[in-house]
């Protein structure tokens, strides 16, 4: 009897490492999601920072006692696109003599008005008050005495140019402001201080 032998081809069976592939896919998807989230967050930050508001740190004592050294505030950059700055607003602006520096001061007089610093007090002359009116500065201690400076000397009525603002620090004795170096052009105003977020004890809207 003839014996026949059937050749059987043996093939290697390879199993796909599904667990490893699944993990790699998850890691890849995680990084894609992270990248998308980062890009969106960066775009939102740029939009907010350049057009809506920006954080600023108060440096120095020129705005004591209302804004102290080291405090952090948010500056609203959109309001003045909708309306004109107002007397009493606390603004952040580019220092006219060195535009790379940001200053924080309070608006005291508006474009076209006249300012008189007399016996430590501030008087404003405008179309509504042609004979002058003493400025009520309820945000300052009653003992504050306001001297004049080179640009706005005491006992002399001085005109605020059009499209510019006369500003002073709340700490009149230790503030370099419009009295010394002149007014702030409107185009140099970055925005209005609206919110203080540091320190926590001072957290809240700026009054």
Q: Are 96 and 185 in contact (CB under 8 A)?
A: yes
Residue 117 near residue 179 (C-beta atoms within 8 A): yes
Helix ranges (DSSP H) in the chain: 18-47, 79-82, 178-181
Is 62 labeled as catalytic in the residue annotation?
yes
Q: What distance in Å separates the CA atoms of residue 168 and residue 11, rounded to the nearest whole number?
A: 89
Q: Cα–Cα distance between 204 and 202 in angstroms, integer?
A: 6
* Catalytic residue of the set 22, 24, 62, 142: 62
Interatomic CA distance for residues 90 and 92, integer angstroms? 7
Buried (b) or exposed (e) across 76-92, using 16+ Cβ within 10 A?
bbeebeeeebeeebbbb
Tokens found for residue 156: 């002399």
Give the catalytic positions in this structure: 62
């Amino acid at each position: 009897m003839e014996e026949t032998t059937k050749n059987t081809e043996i093939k290697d069976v390879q199993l796909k490492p599904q667990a490893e592939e699944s993990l790699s896919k998850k890691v890849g998807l995680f990084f894609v999601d992270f990248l998308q989230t980062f890009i969106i967050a960066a775009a939102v930050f740029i939009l907010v920072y350049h057009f809506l508001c920006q954080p600023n740190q108060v440096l120095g004592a020129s705005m004591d006692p209302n804004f102290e050294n080291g405090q952090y505030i948010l500056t609203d950059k959109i309001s003045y696109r909708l309306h004109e700055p107002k007397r009493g607003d606390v603004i952040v602006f580019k220092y006219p003599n060195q535009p790379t520096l940001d200053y924080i001061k309070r608006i005291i007089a508006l474009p076209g008005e006249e300012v008189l610093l007399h016996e430590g007090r501030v008087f404003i002359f405008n179309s509504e008050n042609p004979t002058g009116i003493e400025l009520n500065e309820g945000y300052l201690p009653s003992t504050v005495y306001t001297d004049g400076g080179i640009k706005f000397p005491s006992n002399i009525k001085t005109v605020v140019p059009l499209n510019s603002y006369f500003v002073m620090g709340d700490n009149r004795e230790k503030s370099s402001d419009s009295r010394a170096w002149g007014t702030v052009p409107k185009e140099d105003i970055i925005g209005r201080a609206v919110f203080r977020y540091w320190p926590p004890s001072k957290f809240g809207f700026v009054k």
